């Protein structure tokens, strides 16, 4: 990951990355970055949510990119909800020994903070990513909007391991 307060590309053109995705031998491996471009803001409304309500297994297909491309998003909740990321679909991201970390409006804030880089995910092609959205308040929410902003990278698979590369995780462990 970029681990920057400012959202920056994880790699530049002609740099190398290592996509960590052992669930798919086709995707898992080393790549050269051929092209990088910013992605404009994608706002997704998960819909209304009752007090203490939960929306599970929510998919946002607008985040997917064509095969051979890598998407890099920073996730920013706009409402008073928590968001859990599952990547691939049934496997939670950001797992500790006794729990699963979630993203929240209060935790990240609407401004870029020193924690914002922790809310970044990478998606290769149309690799399934699902979200669980929870209303932790005692009142219903008429909408649950989450913003996604980032970059996309055109990649070329390398036959051998390069001397230098950036590690990019594509799944929870």
- The CATH number of 39-150, from 3.30.310, 2.60.40, 2.60.120, 3.40.50, is 2.60.120
pLDDT tier, 1 (very low <50, low <70, confident <90, very high otherwise): very low
- HEC readout, 131-170: EEEEECCCCCECCCEEEEEEEEEEEEECCCCCCCCEEEEC
* For residues 80-85, average pLDDT: 86
- pTM score of the predicted model: 0.85
The string of pLDDT tens digits covering residues 117-158 is 678 889 998 888 888 999 988 999 999 999 999 999 999 999
């Amino acid at each position: 990951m970029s681990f920057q307060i400012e959202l920056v590309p994880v790699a530049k053109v002609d740099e190398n990355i290592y996509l960590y995705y052992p669930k798919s031998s086709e995707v898992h491996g080393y790549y050269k970055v051929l092209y990088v471009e910013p992605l404009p803001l994608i706002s997704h409304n998960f819909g209304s949510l009752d007090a203490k309500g939960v929306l599970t297994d929510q998919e946002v297909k607008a985040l997917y990119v064509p095969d051979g491309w890598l998407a890099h998003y920073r996730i920013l909740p706009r409402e008073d909800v928590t968001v859990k990321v599952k990547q691939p679909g049934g496997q939670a991201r950001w797992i500790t020994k006794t729990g699963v970390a979630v993203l929240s409006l209060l935790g990240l804030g609407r401004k870029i903070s020193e924690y914002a880089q922790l809310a970044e995910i990478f998606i290769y092609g149309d690799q399934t990513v699902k979200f669980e959205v929870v209303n932790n308040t005692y009142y219903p929410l008429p909408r649950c909007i989450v913003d996604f902003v980032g970059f996309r990278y055109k990649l070329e698979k390398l036959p051998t391991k390069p001397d230098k590369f950036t590690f990019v995780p594509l799944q929870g462990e």
